[in-house]
Each structure stands twice: as C-alpha cells, then as structure tokens.
Amino acid sequence: MKAVILAGGFGTRLSEETTLRPKPMIEIGGKPILWHIMNIYSAHGINEFFIAAGYKAEVIKEYFLNFYAINNDVTIDLSDGKTAVHDGNQSNWKNWKVHIIDTGLHTQTGGRLKRLKKWLDQDDTFMFTYGDGVADVDISKLLSFHRSHGKLATVTTVRPPARFGRIGFEEDRINEFYEKPDTGEGWISGGYFVLSPKVIDYINDDETIWERDPLERLVLEGQIMGYRHYSFWSCMDTLREKNILEELWNAHKAPWKIW
C-alpha cells in the first residue's frame, strides 16, 4: 500500500512560516507536519510514501537526505571530517521508503496527482492526502470501508468550521460536493482519500483542481463514498491553527499521535 501526500503548494495563508520552507515542513513539536502525517499512516503499516513536491521542493529533499542524522545522535571529528551516526532510534520510520517527486511549481492539486501516474501501480489501491492535515483516523478501518463498497474512491469526511466545502450524503454514497461556500454546515472533506488508480483518468492536466471536476464527476457517477470520521481532525491553514496543534503536542495531548 502506497500513500501520496500533496506537498507542493505555496501556503500563502501561512506566509509567516512559508517564506523559507514549504507548508508541510512547518514544525509541530520540532518535527515537520509532514512527518506527523507519515507517522499516522505508518502506525497502520503503510510505509511507502510519494511526496508530490513543488514550492521549495529542495527543502523537503534536504530534510530526507539528512533524515537519519537528524533523528539520531551524531559524532563529528573536526580533525579529519569523519562522522558517525549513532543508531539509537527505533521509531516507525525505520521501514519508510520515501519518493520525493517535483510535480511543478504552479501545478494544481489534481495535476500533481496525475504527474505521479507512472509511479503508481495501475492495479493497486493507494492512499492520498494533503500535507497539512492531521487526524486520529483509523487508516485500517478506512481501507476496510473502501474495499467493502467497490467504488473508485473514498474520502474521509469530518465536521469542522463552515469555511470549508460541504459534502452531502445519501447513506454512504456522496451525492453533493460544494467547494468552500461562504457559509455551510455538516460534513466536509478531511483528505485521507483511498483511491483506485482509475481516478487519475478523471484528471486532464496540470491545471486540474482535484476538488472540482474530478471529484464532481465521481459524485455524478456514484463512484465516491464517504467514510465518516467523528473524532479529531485539524488542518493547518493559519498561524492560529499551527499554534493550537503546537500546544496540544507540547501538552502531550495530541489526539493524532497514534504511534
């Protein structure tokens, strides 16, 4: 099982933090939020990741190129330049395989996914989410739900503030998808999709926004189901949201820490 994580946007709402690094690299508790998201998947045995990078992709590449040293103690002998990494961390990431693909600076969300088509097996279901949202989603139950209905797509739905888009249900089948109305209530997309590779054919090109034509077509064709998540979910769109997540982590009350 593979997980695709969108990590290429400009993060303009968090410009205080994103001048020097991409949004998924903003830290919560000293670790990038991207690391937190990967740990959520890894806790359920998903350890191969495809990071769809764009804006400041080099920051993500540098982090993972130096990941082993960053997350362990190191010794550096300045007399001869030799270094040693002391392997003392037995975390989930020991089994991770990370692919970082530059999907373009201005590519839209759907276009980024389409650019990964050649990296994904054409017969294998995969996970897909955004690089700025954390939740205590039971990934195993989410996957079981997806396999139970036989449709092309499942989206994890949550109940947050009205500033997000709204989703309408008919039992578990999604029959409406509104992208960020001015007001609204009810269920919204929380990311954490489960997808058949066939959904990539719903994406035209780099300009395609995943949340518009592709999702709207899946709704019209009855090919997307909603997994209702009643517990914790939060995105990190603003500095206030970032600070709330930081406070929860520092207080050892982070609900998304399921690893």
Q: pLDDT digit string (tens) for 54-81?
A: 999 999 999 999 998 888 899 999 999 8
For residue 27, the cross-strand partners are 32
What's the pLDDT score for residue 245? 95
pLDDT digit string (tens) for 141-197? 999 999 999 999 999 999 875 555 566 777 888 777 766 554 445 789 999 999 999
What's the pLDDT score for residue 52? 98
Q: What is the DSSP letter of 13?
A: G
- What is the CATH architecture assignment of 2-153+191-197+234-250? Alpha-Beta Complex (3.90)
What's the pLDDT score for residue 182? 45
User: 69: Cβ–Cβ under 8 A, 6 or more apart, which residues?
Assistant: 83, 85
Contact 226, 157 (CB under 8 A): yes
Parallel, antiparallel, or unpaired for β 82-86 and 73-77? Answer: antiparallel
Per-residue pLDDT averaged across 233-239, rounded? Answer: 92
Contact 227, 146 (CB under 8 A): yes
Share of the chain above pLDDT 90, in %: 74
What's the pLDDT score for residue 163? 54
What's the pLDDT score for residue 178? 66
With H, G, I as helix, E, B as strand and everything else as coil, classify residue 142: helix
Task: Give how far Cα 114 sits from Cα of 18, 48, 131, 149, 215, Å.
Answer: 25, 18, 17, 24, 14
Per-residue pLDDT averaged across 81-91, rounded? Answer: 80
With H, G, I as helix, E, B as strand and everything else as coil, classify residue 100: strand
Contact 49, 92 (CB under 8 A): no
| CA dist., res. 34 & res. 51, Å (int) | 9
Side chain identity at 247, as an amino acid letter?
Answer: E
Which of 13-27, 28-42, 86-100, 146-160 shows the lowest mean pLDDT across its residues? 86-100
Per-residue pLDDT averaged across 79-91, rounded? Answer: 82
Which sequence spans correspond to the domains of the chain? 2-153+191-197+234-250
What's the pLDDT score for residue 183? 45
Side chain identity at 46, as an amino acid letter?
Answer: I
Polymer length of the chain: 259
Nearest to 228 by CA among 257, 198, 186: 186
Side chain identity at 203, as an amino acid letter?
Answer: I
| CA dist., res. 158 & res. 240, Å (int) | 20
Look over the chain and give the mean of its residue pLDDT values, rounded to a whole number: 91
pLDDT digit string (tens) for 123-143? 799 999 999 999 999 999 999
What's the pLDDT score for residue 1? 92
Task: Give how far Cα 28 sits from Cα of 36, 222, 244, Å.
Answer: 8, 38, 10
User: Could you tell me the two tokens for 167?
Assistant: 């989703």
Model confidence pTM above 0.75: yes
**Residue 60 zone, left/alpha/beta (φ > 0; ψ -120 to 50; rest):** alpha
H/E stretch holding 57: helix 57-65
User: Could you tell me the two tokens for 34?
Assistant: 């991207």
